[in-house]
């Protein structure tokens, strides 16, 4: 039945189900959201009800380490975030996938994050790491991920492009 037939019968066109976007969040975005509740990183977490947010144990451990060094006063806030937000925590990626990710990204410390995002089959990887993720177009191309900054992702949310 086409739209003209629907109009004649006064029935609605049913759009196909569009699931919530699956979004992998890296360490820099979580850290930024804890530092400022008004920036783009924080806005992503405020939109969490309409998103499937993925993180990995590696990201959790890395955030703990960064907070201990740079902002220990925010450790409790991070623990509360983990309790309150409905994160999907991805299993550790296989060693084979991490080795594959090391061939894609220049910083070996970012390979477990890239591998976890690939393994989770997310729609977006959101990061503030422009040097290793955003500015190197080969990372997105070779990983098959759409890699964006928090600001870019918030614009996508606002435009309802997701």
The domains located in the chain, with CATH, are 32-158 (3.40.50.1010)
Contacting residues for 88 by C-beta, under 8 A, at least 6 apart: 52, 53, 54, 55, 120
Q: 48: which 2 tokens?
A: 């969490």
pLDDT along the chain (162 residues), means of 10: 45 51 97 96 90 96 98 98 93 96 96 97 97 95 97 91 64
Residue where the block lists tokens 């979580």: 30
Q: 154: which 2 tokens?
A: 């918030």
Residue whose C-alpha is closest to residue 125's, from 21, 25, 20: 25
Strand partners for 146: 124
pLDDT the model gives residue 40: 97
The whole-model pTM stands at 0.86
Determine the distance from the C-alpha atom of residue 95 to the mean position of all C-alpha atoms in its chain, rounded to a whole number.
22
Beta-sheet pairing, 88-90 with 124-126: unpaired
Helical pair 111-120 and 95-104, crossing angle rounded to 10 deg:
110
Contacting residues for 38 by C-beta, under 8 A, at least 6 apart: none
Determine the distance from the C-alpha atom of residue 128 to the mean position of all C-alpha atoms in its chain, rounded to a whole number.
11
């Amino acid at each position: 039945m086409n739209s003209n037939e629907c109009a004649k019968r006064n029935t609605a066109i049913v759009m196909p189900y569009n699931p919530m976007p699956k979004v992998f969040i890296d360490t820099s975005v979580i850290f930024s959201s804890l530092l400022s509740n008004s920036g783009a990183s924080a806005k992503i977490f405020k939109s969490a009800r309409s998103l499937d947010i993925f993180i990995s144990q590696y990201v959790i451990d890395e955030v703990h380490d960064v907070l201990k060094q740079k902002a220990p006063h925010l450790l409790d806030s991070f623990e509360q975030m983990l309790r309150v937000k409905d994160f999907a925590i991805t299993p550790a990626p296989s060693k084979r996938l991490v080795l594959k990710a090391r061939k894609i990204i220049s910083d070996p410390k970012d390979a477990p994050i890239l591998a976890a995002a690939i393994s989770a089959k997310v729609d977006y990887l959101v990061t503030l790491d422009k040097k290793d993720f955003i500015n190197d177009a080969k990372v997105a191309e070779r990983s098959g991920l759409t890699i964006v900054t928090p600001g870019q992702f918030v614009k996508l949310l606002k435009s309802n492009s997701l």
